[in-house]
Structure 1
Amino acid sequence: MRHFFATAVAVATSILSHRTALALPVVAEPANAVQSVIISAHNTLNGTAPPQSQQQQHQQSLGVTDFTASSTSTSTSSNSLKFAVHNNLPSTQHGLMAYVTGRDMSGAVVMLNSAGQWYYPDAQGSMIPVAIPESANIGIPLSPKTSEFTIPDFIESGRVYVSDGRLSFLVVTSDLGGTTLVEPSAANPADASANVNWGFVELTNLKDAGIFANISFVDFVGLVMGMRLHLASGDAATQTQQVQGLAGDAVQAICDEMHAQGAKDGQPWGDMCVTDAASGKALRVMAPNMYVASHAEAMLDYYTEYVDKVWARFAGEDLVIDTQSGAGKVACRVKPAQNNPDKQVLACDGDNREYVKPVASDIWGCNTGPFAIVASDNDVHKAVVPRLCAAFTRSELLVEGGSICTPSEESSKRYYQADPTNHYSRIIHEHQVDGKGYAFSYDDVNPDGQNAAGVVAGPSPQLLEIFVGGFGDDAGGGGGAGNASLPGVQWHGRRDVPIRRRLTRFDRSMLGVE
């Protein structure tokens, strides 16, 4: 699919070139869905070709709530999962819609239609993106209060989108003959869904591993959503789990603080806010990694002086990283590189690779440069990377006590207290109601027993509730740590997977499931 991606990049460059030279506020100005498409790991889902017997429509039908009525229906499959979406928004412009995307157990891309059936998107061999036809009925209209629907089977790499208005989805055939679903892009101001207020919950629900669901602000903040999971069994701390996420009015408040920070330090924090072209209201806030992807010259040297000081400090003393694993505490020191004595690198005991100085984009994303993880890396390297990037993101390494990276209640007081820092992440956390939800990709580097990752998980899920516009008066309905313990699963720093869907991209081997 390289030639297609090259075309998409060329289109993207033409769209965004006027925004690259100067850091300008992003205004949502949707254009033609196909002509304005930008394809990246953030907004695509890859799968196998649709099954021949399912290319028109999956015939496994389940009962779905009549969204104009208050009655509910029950599934006839033990593999199904029920959702309840609660609308706590004070008002909507176009009416709420839900969209479910993911892969079925054969690896094929699926979407839920309004009849409760899997729909298999099929580009019919087209290497140019084509729109999902309206006849597919993939948009589920939601009621002004509470709506319920059920997905018919297990799902992986799933998302439940909720939007104020309709979203645009495209499908294209990959070079290998598989299906690629192109979803709305939060970073593309010309995306067909750019002026729609939307957000999503990520999830995977597998037979043996159970459900893993999360809310994430790693790439952007959009329509505010929280969730509550109900399991078939468990103790008081795990049977019902919830993640409240952000307050209902958080997006505008976050934008206001981002603008204030930009006025303070001269950096384009405020320009990361995406506003509606018609109303001027804040629609979403892009994370720095998303912003710099379309503003190549922005913030290039933001961390340069800080990184130089970190290298100078740890040339003379050890940086001790608690891996929270069998490797224990690992000592690291800046020294000449093994293959280039003139180059200073950070070397950690037992690590199979050394660390070069990260640049700003490496720190924003935590998955490039020294923070890239490859299959041949050993367990020490896989444990050090999340904690090292988290320490850079939280600006811990030059403050008192920063030479010992051990996640604890005490160390958390150091987060974001020094400049430069990731002010997007800092501000997000300040607006979280319960302190849960990723603000960067390794935000799950936390003290043992804590869950700042915004995860709910467990076996035999019965119901996943989604709260749109904040929890409102429903916040007291769930207990739980929001991080159910499953055998063989360690949550700290396990996000050695692509930025997109950092939770649901876990494969079965990582989950300990055959």
Structure 2
Amino acid sequence: MLRTLRSRLATAAGAAALAGTLLTLGPPAQAAVPDTIPLKITNNSGRGDALYVYNLGTQLSTGRQGWADANGTFHAWPAGGNPPTPAPDASIPGPAAGQSKTIRIPKFSGRVYFSYGQKIVFRLTTGGLVQPAVQNPSDPNRNILFNWSEYTLNDSGLWLNSTQVDMFSAPYAVGVQRSDGSTVSTGRLKPGGYNGFFAALRAQSGGWGNLIQTRPDGTVLRALSPLYGVETGALPRSVMDDYVDRVWQKYATTTLTVTPFADQPATKYFGRVAGGVMNFTNSAGAVVTSFQKPDADSVFGCHRLLDAPNDLVRGPISRTLCAGFNRSTLLSNPNQPDASSANFYRDAVTNHYARAIHERTADGKAYAFAFDDVGHHESLVHDGSPRQAYLTLDPFS
């Protein structure tokens, strides 16, 4: 479950660190990022349930997986087993409704989980931690109300986001106090946005309401991402076929131009479909990469037939294609990526899950699919010398 967003945060952080190394001349302009920074957790949920918080991830200095306690002290996971064995209780008591609590987060690439009413069940295999996978009806966390934020803290600063890549659930916002004392935040829903999101899925034809998971008593817990919807059969595998077919048909006679780097406008790749395959050439006319016609799984997951390796050619082209398919902009604009969100999700065949989320966030930003950061439409805060981070649990109504 960490596969795409985690690697992207780590890549961004690593690139920033490299840039900092290359550009530093003489004494550093500011103090290094400390080993831990404060994370202020505010419970504005209005719920009376007990709140549990977890800080889990990979320690960047050693590469070990583990958890951090409220003081930011790292604890490595013990060896797991097969079948998986219970993980140590890494929970931190969270603040009651209307209260705040500050913990410290270390230099991690990880997640801050929070759950209402029940502790999350974590287990360990011989390969490490087993993350909750509520798309599996037998997962022990299936009926627990929980969510998480993802972050990377390293020597180049903090990257902290609100994410809906895997599911949409308990609402929250993230923020950071910058080195100059100013604060930025993102992830907050508009008034009525939480219930409005689920209402929008139920009203959308084609099975989109099947993404919603409830407890046996009818309490709404979450909506699965369309990737998991396709994998579990909640959404038909043909859900994106009509749009993909139209894209393939158009670019058999038209050129799709991809300019993947905003700061390198001269770097362009040109896509044309021939023999059922979309081939991309560079400015010299040489084929640099090719794509088979993607299915819904590949589109929603930005993987498989739209795999995006961490290179400088296929990966950047693929992430641009993935964003164009999810936002349904490839037919309306042969020059990708789109600079504006004005034409996103306009086609009847689109990622309606992502559309419903973006329509209901206060700033229009979200991480509703893996490469929602193409064009900077993601719900991410960053600072190179953060004073403090924030996680605000918002009301459900």
TM-score range, shorter chain: 0.7 to 0.9
Q: 1:281 aligns with which of 216, 219, 238?
A: 219
* Residue 303 (structure 1) aligned with residue 240 (structure 2): yes
Aligned to 2:350: 421
Aligned to 1:258: 201
Gaps of 5+ in 2: 7-32
Matches within 5 A, 1:255-404: 255-262=198-205, 267-278=206-217, 280-295=218-233, 298-323=235-260, 324-326=262-264, 327-335=266-274, 343-350=275-282, 352-369=288-305, 371-374=306-309, 379-399=312-332, 402-404=333-335
Q: Report the secondary structure of 1:353's partner residue.
A: strand
- The Cα offsets for residues 214-271 of structure 1, whole Å up to 9 and x where unpaired, read as 111111111101011012337xxxx422113324753432121111103xxxx21101
Given the superposition, is the C-alpha separation of residues 463 and 41 from structure 1 closer, same or farther in structure 2, using an over 3 Å criterion? closer
Matches within 5 A, 1:64-463: 78-92=34-48, 94-104=49-59, 105-113=61-69, 117-123=73-79, 126-133=81-88, 136=89, 138-151=91-104, 153-156=106-109, 158-165=110-117, 166-174=119-127, 180-207=128-155, 209-233=156-180, 239-247=182-190, 249-262=192-205, 267-278=206-217, 280-295=218-233, 298-323=235-260, 324-326=262-264, 327-335=266-274, 343-350=275-282, 352-369=288-305, 371-374=306-309, 379-399=312-332, 402-409=333-340, 412-446=341-375, 451-463=376-388
Deviation, 1:470, is: 5.2
Q: Report the secondary structure of 1:242's partner residue.
A: strand
- The Cα offsets for residues 115-143 of structure 1, whole Å up to 9 and x where unpaired, read as 653332213x523211124xx45332323
Q: Report the secondary structure of 1:212's partner residue.
A: strand
Given residue 338 of structure 2, which amino acid in structure 1 is its aligned partner? P
Given the superposition, is the C-alpha separation of residues 190 and 251 from structure 1 closer, same or farther in structure 2, using an over 3 Å criterion? farther
Looking at structure 2, the residues matched to 360 and 313 of structure 1 have their Cα atoms a distance apart, in angstroms, of: 19
Q: Report the secondary structure of 2:230's partner residue.
A: helix
- The Cα offsets for residues 187-209 of structure 1, whole Å up to 9 and x where unpaired, read as 233322222211111111112x2
Q: Report the secondary structure of 1:442's partner residue.
A: coil
Q: Report the secondary structure of 1:388's partner residue.
A: helix
Given residue 391 of structure 1, which amino acid in structure 2 is its aligned partner? G
Deviation, 1:471, is: 11
Aligned to 1:509: none
Given the superposition, is the C-alpha separation of residues 122 and 319 from structure 1 closer, same or farther in structure 2, using an over 3 Å criterion? same
Contact 1:118 1:152 in 2 (8 A): no
Deviation, 1:366, is: 1.0
How many aligned positions are there?
Answer: 363
Given residue 307 of structure 2, which amino acid in structure 1 is its aligned partner? A
Deviation, 1:304, is: 2.2
Gaps of 5+ in 1: 1-39, 46-76, 175-179, 336-342, 473-514
Given residue 308 of structure 2, which amino acid in structure 1 is its aligned partner? I
Given the superposition, is the C-alpha separation of residues 206 and 137 from structure 1 closer, same or farther in structure 2, using an over 3 Å criterion? closer
Deviation, 1:457, is: 1.0
Q: Report the secondary structure of 1:393's partner residue.
A: helix
Aligned to 1:493: none
Aligned to 1:465: 390
- The Cα offsets for residues 405-448 of structure 1, whole Å up to 9 and x where unpaired, read as 24223xx22211112111111111111111122111111111xx
Contact 2:162 2:187 in 1 (8 A): no
Q: Which has the higher strand share?
A: 2
Given residue 118 of structure 1, which amino acid in structure 2 is its aligned partner? F
Contact 2:211 2:223 in 1 (8 A): yes
Contact 1:211 1:460 in 2 (8 A): yes
Q: State the TM-score, normalized to the length of structure 1.
A: 0.66
Contact 1:87 1:145 in 2 (8 A): yes
Return 209-218 or 463-472, whichever deviates more: 463-472
- The Cα offsets for residues 41-73 of structure 1, whole Å up to 9 and x where unpaired, read as 569x9xxxxxxxxxxxxxxxxxxxxxxxxxxxx
Looking at structure 1, the residues matched to 322 and 71 of structure 2 have their Cα atoms a distance apart, in angstroms, of: 44
Q: Report the secondary structure of 2:387's partner residue.
A: strand
Deviation, 1:291, is: 1.5
Given the superposition, is the C-alpha separation of residues 137 and 100 from structure 1 closer, same or farther in structure 2, using an over 3 Å criterion? closer
Looking at structure 2, the residues matched to 471 and 463 of structure 1 have their Cα atoms a distance apart, in angstroms, of: 25
Aligned to 1:500: none
Contact 2:67 2:77 in 1 (8 A): yes
Looking at structure 1, the residues matched to 201 and 372 of structure 2 have their Cα atoms a distance apart, in angstroms, of: 20
Looking at structure 2, the residues matched to 345 and 315 of structure 1 have their Cα atoms a distance apart, in angstroms, of: 9
Given the superposition, is the C-alpha separation of residues 420 and 322 from structure 1 closer, same or farther in structure 2, using an over 3 Å criterion? same
Deviation, 1:372, is: 0.9
Deviation, 1:309, is: 2.0
- The Cα offsets for residues 354-375 of structure 1, whole Å up to 9 and x where unpaired, read as 1111111111111111x11346
RMSD (Å) for aligned C-alpha atoms: 2.6
Deviation, 1:284, is: 0.5
